[in-house]
Chains A and B, each alone.
Chain A
Amino acid sequence: MPQIIKHRDIIQDDWIVVRAAEDGSLPAVDAIPAGRVLLPFSYWKAHSAALRAARPAAELGVWLEPDAEPAELVEDFAAISLIAVDFPVFRDGRGYSIARLLRDRYHWTGELRAIGDVLRDQLLYLSRCGFDAFAVRADKNIHDALKAFSEFTVLYQAAQDEPNPLFRRRAAAAAV
């Protein structure tokens, strides 16, 4: 079973990521593998009624492409238990903003996973933006990737991991 990083631990992961075939085709709803499946957002939008009828939320997840509009998923939050954002290449930064919107504006509290070209040197910022799970690219050493989270002990900005920017924390520390 593949491993992912979740809450800064390495865990076994049984979610099956469903991606379109080379020709763009996707399986019919009744041909989706059994178990927990992570589905493309477009597929979800097309088949959500059938999927909800067939499976519990615990087995359903949706992954977003970088140009997705996360607001369109908000009404479906109760029907799914995982949201992932795909990074077709690690240099594509749109997913960071999507994560912040999902957490900050739309209050998704479930697992938020980075998938695709997910590498050690991006993990800290990804986690700061609200990702709590990381499917590190399979050819990379996932244990090595864990080190990313401890590289910095001081951070200037407020983000999902830190409600206050450093200047407010400085002021609070000075007041003590």
Chain B
Amino acid sequence: MYQYDQYDQTIVDERVAQFRDQVRRRLSDELSEEEFRPLRLQNGLYLQRHAYMLRVAIPYGNLRSTQLRMLGQIAREHDRNYGHFSTRTNIQYNWIKLEDTPDILAKLATVEMHAIQTSGNCIRNITADQFAGVAPDEIVDPRPYCEILRQWSTFHPEFAWLPRKFKIAVCGSREDRAAVLIHDIGIFLSKNPQGEVVARVLAGGGLGRTPIIGSVIREDLPWQHLLSYCEAVLRVYNRYGRRDNIYKARIKILVKALGAEKFAAEVEAEWAHLKDNATTITEQELARVAAFFVAPAYQKLPDTDTSYENHLLEEKAFARWVQRNVRPHKVAGYASVTLSLKPGISSPPGDATAEQMEAAADLADAYSFGEIRVSHEQNLILADVRKQDLHALWLRAKALNFATANIGLLTDIIACPGGDFCSLANAKSIPIAQGIQARFDNLDFVYDLGDLSLNISGCINSCGHHHVGNIGVLGVDKDGEEWYQVSLGGEQGNQAKLARVMGPSFKAEEMPDVVSKLIEIFVEQRVDGENFIDTYQRIGMAPFKERVYASRQPALA
């Protein structure tokens, strides 16, 4: 993992001092709330329903165990003993006092962490594949490029006051696990026939009120030009993106208005002036940063292990966990493990207690070279576990409520914090997730359903990625009441598709029944072990819609 040098450390230390002074000036009224608001947002501090929410950056989802312990300590000392991992692979604390934030940031700085640009109309935390560096299908490890982008975007003087927020995702594998197609800039790294790293750059993807899949604006961009090319994209957006309407201010609206080709031409014209300037990445810098991401000291191991194989045969629950929560690793004898933060009704999706964070840090130290990743599906990953350790790890994970064998299944629900916390939300998310999880608490049944994504957003800002869920749930407000609109057919990944709304929305208490009916149709119509999305694409919306609305009381329609 990347480690700060004295320069990186000085920057976060000076940020703490700067923010401490900004808070002081706010408390003494030297700064009005209107003036302070974007300053605190650019430090991840939102004013929510009950208290301030602080969003801490987890750059491209990578954490050291010491950092995760500090996140646990902050949850204990400054919050109500838990934190929420978000779909941008950050962590959010829900019960923060404004006066505490400078001290929290100072604590974070001691472990090379910060909350810089985790909100506001600026370049946000850069996200990547949670299996970067270990995935068998990886072509290029995205992490060094993400770190170089992180440094470039941190306090970029020209792009701190964009029309709207700006999110970048990077993927270097064949399968897109970073939701690249729904980002403001999406970068696919690969190699050209000469073996040089090149980028396919997409722009204008995003969810929200107007969900749009990103368009390719550049092929075969040599890696040296990633920063200057992004500067060209950002400059075009900064100058010409709409600022008159918050709902039309994302880059996707500009790309759509101009057309991807015209937008790409504008960027190309701008880039012609910037290409080869001092911002061009050097071999030396790439080598310096890449050295932090060299493979850890893997042992030479046989690809499998007798005791592991025996446990697989003897313990069905373990075998099932391996099936769902363990992935192949590029190194023989190793595997990557996902610790589920979706245990069902015992805890909201993506939440972890201070004790769980500390325990996950211990597991990382014991089994995975002291490193943890956060996925955009809101789970934690131990990327480098020896197969011979999987059973022991599973036993410990079970005791910690981390071993629900549901990764990629119906109950691995992506959900935003929703109306329980978020002041933007129209409706609650967590009780909907928990109602569905309670309905589908039979793991055998859920397991047999196979891959199925159910994503819940409490409002059209779409933090819960409902547009790209096989089943998407969106909280809407109707005359002050919370209703839920259900959509079907969304997908993330290389073939990302936007879901279609099924029909009129539902009350919260109807939602478990609605999902049950969707699942009934799927089970009835499923052929040859299809996944839900395959069945949906084969039979279309109509059978699902008929079943769901057929028995509905007219009064609710």
Q: Which residues of A contact B (CB under 8 A)?
A: 90-94, 96-98, 100, 104-105, 119, 121-122, 124-126, 128-129, 141, 144, 151-159, 163-168, 170-171
Contact = CB atoms under 8 A, between A and B. Distances in A.
A166 B161 contact: no
Contact of B278 (A91, A119, A156, A168): A168
A83 to B, nearest CB: 17
Nearest to B36: A121
B45 interface: no
B278 A94 contact: no
A85 to B, nearest CB: 12
Contacts of A168: 278, 282, 285
Contact of A97 (B30, B121, B238): B238
Contact of A91 (B121, B152, B155, B288): B121
10 contacts: A91-B121, A93-B159, A96-B157, A96-B158, A105-B273, A152-B14, A156-B156, A166-B7, A166-B151, A170-B5
A97 B278 contact: no
Contact of A154 (B7, B22, B38, B148): B7
Nearest to A163: B278
Given A93-B159, A93-B161, A129-B158, A152 B279 contact: no
Contacts of A156: 11, 151-152, 154-156
Contacts of B31: 121
Contacts, number: 110
Contact of A124 (B17, B22, B157, B282): B157
Given A94-B238, A105-B273, A164-B278, 10 more contacts: A100-B158, A125-B157, A125-B160, A126-B157, A155-B155, A156-B11, A157-B152, A157-B155, A167-B288, A170-B288
Nearest to A93: B161
A166 to B, nearest CB: 6
A157 B157 contact: yes
Contacts of B159: 93, 96
> Which of B21, B152, B162, B239 has the largest count of A CB atoms less than 10 A from its CB?
B239
B7 A90 contact: no
B239 A97 contact: yes
Interface in B13-68: 14-15, 17-18, 21-22, 30-31, 35, 38-39
Interface string B220-251: 00000001000000010011000100000000
A121 B161 CA distance: 12
A136 to B, nearest CB: 13
B5 A154 contact: no
A71 B238 CA distance: 17
Contacts of A152: 11, 14-15, 18, 155
A153 B160 contact: no
Given A121-B35, A128-B157, A156-B155, A97 B281 contact: no
Contacts of B11: 152, 154-156
B157 A167 contact: no
Contact of A165 (B161, B162, B235, B279): B279
B contact residues, range: 35 or more
Contact of A171 (B156, B160, B282): B282
Which 8 residue pairs of A and B lie closest in terms of their CB atoms, listed nearest first? A93-B161, A128-B157, A125-B157, A167-B285, A158-B278, A154-B10, A96-B158, A151-B18
Contacts of A167: 148, 151, 281-282, 284-285, 288
B157 A119 contact: no
> Which of A96, A105, A122 has the largest count of B CB atoms less than 10 A from its CB?
A96
Nearest to A147: B21
A161 to B, nearest CB: 9
A158 B10 CA distance: 17
Nearest to A128: B157
A94 B39 CA distance: 18
A105 B243 CA distance: 25
Contacts of A98: 239
B239 A159 contact: no
Given A94-B238, A164-B278, A166-B151, A159 B158 contact: yes
Contacts of A170: 5, 7, 285, 288
B277 interface: yes
Contact of A153 (B14, B152, B157): B14
Contacts of B7: 154, 166, 170
A96 B161 contact: yes
Nearest to A137: B35
A168 to B, nearest CB: 6
A97 B158 contact: yes
A93 B160 contact: yes
Contacts of A153: 10, 14
Contacts of A155: 11, 155, 157
Contacts of B239: 94, 97-98
A98 B239 CA distance: 8
B30 A165 contact: no
> Which of B38, B161, B277 has the largest count of A CB atoms less than 10 A from its CB?
B161
A158 B152 CA distance: 9
Interface in B125-173: 148, 151-152, 154-163
Contacts of A97: 158, 235, 238-239
A122 to B, nearest CB: 8
B17 A121 contact: no
A100 B159 CA distance: 11
A97 B158 CA distance: 6
Given A90-B35, A93-B159, A97-B235, A165 B10 contact: no
Contacts of A128: 157
